[in-house]
């Protein structure tokens, strides 16, 4: 994982974005509607978990899992869990 990764989903009129910095120890940011709501400064291989809320009334909590390969080289994966449903977040190229 030598470059940054950008994952994004539109969910219920809200934008959910995950930015993962370069390298295996790169910072992970979780944004809702363009605002940072959670951040991990350091993380290792395996799964990192971030939590946030969608600003509905009432608010809707969600979790994002970022999975980094640790045994077999493979792609970084990001999954959104909202209302008990897991959904893969597609990676978008950063421009």
Is pTM, for the whole model, over 0.95? no
Per-residue pLDDT tens for 84-93?
999 999 998 7
Q: Residue 93's pLDDT is what?
A: 75
Reference 78, options 1, 3, 6, 27; nearest CA is: 6
Of the chain, the percentage scoring pLDDT greater than 70 comes to 84
Query: Cα–Cα distances in Å, from 81 out to 45, 71, 84, 87, 93?
Result: 20, 25, 6, 6, 22
Residue 83 pLDDT level (bands cut at 50, 70, 90): very high
Per-residue pLDDT tens for 6-28?
999 999 899 999 999 876 667 99
């Amino acid at each position: 994982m030598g470059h940054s990764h950008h994952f994004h989903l539109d969910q219920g009129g809200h934008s959910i974005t995950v930015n993962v910095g370069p390298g295996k120890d790169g910072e992970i940011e979780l944004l809702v509607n363009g605002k940072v709501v959670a951040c991990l400064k350091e993380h290792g291989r395996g799964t990192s978990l971030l939590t946030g809320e969608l600003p509905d009334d009432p608010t809707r909590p969600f979790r994002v899992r970022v999975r980094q390969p640790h045994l077999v080289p493979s792609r970084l994966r990001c999954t959104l869990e909202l209302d008990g449903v897991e959904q893969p977040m597609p990676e978008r190229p950063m421009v």
